[in-house]
Amino acid sequence: MHSPTPLQHRTLTAAVAVAATLVAGTAAAQLGVAGGDIDLSTLTREAVIPGGEVQAHLDGPFGYVPGSADKSEQLMFATKGINLSGRSPNIQQAFASATARADGNGGVGVSAYEFGYETNGAGPTVRQLVAQASWAQTFANNGVDPVKLSLHLHIPDLEVQLHGVAPNRSGPSAAEEASAIASVAWVITHPDGSFANGVGWQFGLQTHEFQIQLGLNNYANFADIVPINDGTASGVNLFSSLALHGTDYDPRWTIDAVSADVSLGTLKPGDSLRYLYQLTTEGTTNGGERGFAAFLGDPFSVQVLGENLRMDVSLAVPEPGGAALLAAGLGWMVLLMRRRLTDPRG
């Protein structure tokens, strides 16, 4: 048997921390897990499709120093469109906004409504806005035991909305879309330099407008949603608070803030893991008195949540090896032989 090594326990913030949970019966054993500094970044982007990027702004990534108030944030005004979201009424223009703080709090949002149709020399186009906030961090297993890692998330409230979904149209029209998604991706690097990507996880909503032809010069437009929940996470029903607001012309769906625990797998001794947690909102519109809005949290005044980005570490229970199974089998054989020898019936 090996001697236990000290647990390298480094608190990154009040809400971003390494928490060690010991398996019953091994209270004397301590794990050896070290967490690196957290990296923050925000991205806002405007594009015309087809066409290309109109503008993009990236802040970070940069390292977080424990005890500081580091954050990444930005507000981008679109070159066309207005804001009808009701968020930050002082903002008149269409916008994309994102903020990420070192304690795991943050928010993202996009909003645009256009009166005229989007076109170029080749035909109709759509305008796209994107806002994204990112957190990245590395953990290393410097101990002698395999450990399991789980990322606890407190995802802020979610909202997606379409503007101008006309019940009837006389001809074909482009379809608006809006989405708000929280996601986790990770990669495990082994001591020999090889690596394995995690399966990833996503949660959120996408809403889109679609059109059905009912007859000659008669089209019906509808808005619908696609719930997104890919990967493995434990916790409450993430969609239990899903609600529809507004009208058929301006439908808006919301989900209250929820918590989830995403399993990141097992780190063997010498392995390291880097995760990337992102909040992303996106929308597209062709204009013509139509638009969109999408929010995850508040990108202007951050909602302060506790334990919203926390790594939990526990000792991994090893699978029985071949030698252990063979020893167990031999033990049963010896026990059966003794019973036979002591049985008076022979």
Residue pLDDT, tens place only, 277-317: 999 999 999 888 899 999 999 998 766 666 678 888 888 87
Let me know: does 100 contact 42? Beta carbons within 8 Å: yes
Return the domain boundaries, the chain.
Answer: 18-319
* Section 42-62 average pLDDT: 89
The structure's pTM equals 0.81
- End-to-end distance of the chain based on CA atoms, in angstroms? 42
Residue 307: left (phi > 0), alpha (psi -120 to 50), or beta?
Answer: left
Per residue in 150-169, pLDDT tens?
Answer: 999 999 999 999 998 877 77
Q: What does the pLDDT read at residue 316?
A: 81
Per residue in 194-252, pLDDT tens?
Answer: 999 988 999 999 999 887 888 888 888 889 999 999 877 776 688 999 999 999 899 99
What are the beta bridge partners of residue 251? 246
Of 336 and 122, the structure prediction assigns the larger pLDDT to 122
Q: What does the pLDDT read at residue 331?
A: 55
Q: How far is CA 98 from CA 41, 159, 278, in A?
A: 9, 15, 11
